[in-house]
Amino acid sequence: MENRLIITKYSDQYYPPTPNNFTLFLRKSVLFQIIRFFILNYKIMKILIKGHS
Amino acid sequence: MAKILILGAGVAGHTAAAYLQRGLNKKHEITVVSPTSTYQWIPSNIWVGVGRMTPEEIKFDLRPLYKKWGINFIQAKAQNFFPEGDAEIKSAYIEVEYTTKEEAGLKQKIEYDYLINATGPKLNFEATEGLAPGNGNIASVCTFGHASHAWELFQEKLDLMQNGQKQIFVIGTGHPTATCQGAAFEYILNVDFEIKRRGLEKFAEVIWITNEYELGDFGMGGAFIPKGGFISNTKLFAESYFVERNITWIKRAGVKKLDDHKIYYENLDGEYLEQAYDFAMLIPGFAGHGFKAYDKNGADISTKLFTPSGLMKVDADYTQKPFEQWSINDWPETYQNPSYPNIFAPGIAFAPPHSISKPMTSKNGTAIFASAPRTGMPSGIMGKVTADNIIDWIKTGNATMKHKASMGRMGAACIVSAGYGMSKGTAATMTVNPVVPDWDKYPDWGRDINTTMGEPGLAGHWLKWLMHYMFLYKAKGKPFWWLIPE
Ligand SMILES: Cc1cc2nc3c(=O)[nH]c(=O)nc-3n(C[C@H](O)[C@H](O)[C@H](O)COP(=O)(O)OP(=O)(O)OC[C@H]3O[C@@H](n4cnc5c(N)ncnc54)[C@H](O)[C@@H]3O)c2cc1C
């Protein structure tokens, strides 16, 4: 069977981190993402307001 | 009464027009010149290019709005600059050529007291042989028209895959020094998402081709972001995104030429290589529009206003110096032309002092690296500070230039959509603060690590979707539009 090593042959594609199931779950979890939505909005606003005078 | 002339009705020009009409008494005359009468929310072109939105959903006609705001709109393209007037006309003026069907080719001289050149980039497809969209299997998403054609071509390829034919999709940069990698990155992720949504992945090979030294450079020299207990580089972030999706990549590639089925490129090792493709969407190089400028005696002073790339000179430090000596102080703050202080160039129209990413040259001497991007948020902010400075100047009679926005001090947010849908969609929310790394202030990471991030997830899609409606609401000048930030 083809494995990651055979497919990528030690090329650049062999090395990067890949998200595990928990990370993938959090990326799709509606509850977690609602919280992140507000945090991300807050961070963007912070950058924006400080960005010009 | 002051005459303010704005060239271009894109992010920077339209933002400036909106704030000028709000901040100035109606006795002042504001004129906008743009070759098309539509405003387009360019970031949503990505969704037009995969059939998730129609061009009508991302654009609107500016004329009724400008009428309501008391702004004169002229559908034309600027051609020649006369910042001192000439023998006949004593005041500064711009020569424009009409682009409407009825008046095509007709020229007019428009006088001004203050000029905002917000003409954005010339999409320099000609700089890469065979790159023009509409040529065989080549698409673009740089305008809504291009994106609409990209969707037609993509559908043809989806049909072929439905019939069991394997297709190679190559997406990325189409010129050795192209910028705007973020848009191409977004498009490749959306194309991949749509292929997989239809269960066609076994018939598709999706390849990223880029002039970046490493993935995740995005023309900003990459960024360090906190992730999983580490501070890691956006290289890992971008590569991880691709590995997760089985997208392969070719980096350090300067695309030179395309024919119907092959992309010809040179890499930093100086090798000349080829990549087969069935569908290509490659961002072209950006340049200035080739404007000419003349003094009052008719002598050509184009080099006083523009750099060799054709972009406008502003209050940047254009002294040639090695990469190690670059500083955030090289970057402009007011976008004012040093020779003619009543001329400003916010957005992509201004000439950056240099790139942000380290310039790289192949063994054959070809420059292969990402030029500096100027995304929507900074372009909007630059448009606003330009308007604020002109308003102050007109009201007080003094050019105080107290409103400032340097890319070395402001941050930017960019939401990289990677699939559409309120429950299935995903996008990476990326912020960098500041855009140009400030290694003196942040010696470890070049940027503020608390507000520089890259976070994939469903929330990013909601943000991107919200921004689409919010920014179009603002651009349409609906009630309380000015409460929505740039
Ligand atoms: C596909 C795509 C996706 C993108 N996604 C994002 C994103 O998600 N987030 C983000 O922040 N940025 C994004 N960007 C970048 C963003 O669109 C630009 O930063 C922004 O549009 C720059 O604004 P501007 O006003 O300088 O130029 P533009 O918006 O290009 O406006 C230039 C204006 O000048 C007019 N013009 C051209 N020639 C002339 C002439 N001779 N005379 C008069 N007028 C003229 C044009 O018609 C236009 O109205 C994306 C870009 C692309 C191509």
Residues of chain B in contact with residue A28, where contact means CB-CB under 8 angstroms, are 426, 457-458
- From the CA of B45, give the closest atom in ligand 1: 1
Interface contact B462-A49, CB threshold 8 A: no
- CA–CA gap between residue B13 and residue B379 (Å, rounded): 9
Every domain of chain A and the residues it spans: 29-53
Question: Residues lining ligand 1, judged by CB closer than 6 Å?
Answer: B 7-13, 33-36, 42-43, 45-46, 77-78, 118-120, 141-142, 180, 183, 289, 347-349, 374-377, 379, 414
Q: In this predicted structure, what is the pLDDT of residue B257?
A: 97
Residue of B nearest to A42 (CA): B451
The radius of gyration computed from the CA coordinates of chain A, to the nearest angstrom, equals 19
Residue A51, pLDDT score: 67
Residue B429 DSSP code? E
Residues B354, B360: Cα–Cα separation, whole Å: 13
For B111, residues 6+ apart whose C-beta sits below 8 A from its C-beta are: B3, B5, B89, B91, B92, B93
HEC letters along B80-96 = EEECCCCCCCCCCEEEE
The model's confidence at residue A10, banded by pLDDT at 50, 70 and 90, is: confident
Residues of chain B below pLDDT 50: none
Q: How many CA within 13 A on the CB side of residue B78? A: 31
Domains and CATH numbers, chain B: 3-122+288-396 (3.50.50.100)
- Indicate the residue of B249, B251, B403 with minimum beta-carbon distance to A52: B403
| pLDDT number for residue B449 | 94
pLDDT digits (tens, 9 = 90+) for A13-48: 889 999 999 999 999 999 999 999 999 999 888 887
- Position A5 pLDDT exceeds 80: no
Distances (CA, A) of B265 to B218, B287, B334, B441: 19, 20, 38, 38
C-alpha distance across the termini of chain B, in Å: 28
What burial class does residue B440 get, using C-beta atoms within 10 Å of its C-beta: 0-12 exposed, 13-18 middle, 19+ buried?
A: exposed
Question: How far is it, in rounded angstroms, from Cα B317 to Cα B325?
Answer: 12
- Give the pLDDT score at A1: 54
Q: Can you give the pLDDT at residue B447?
A: 97
| DSSP structural state of residue B422 | T
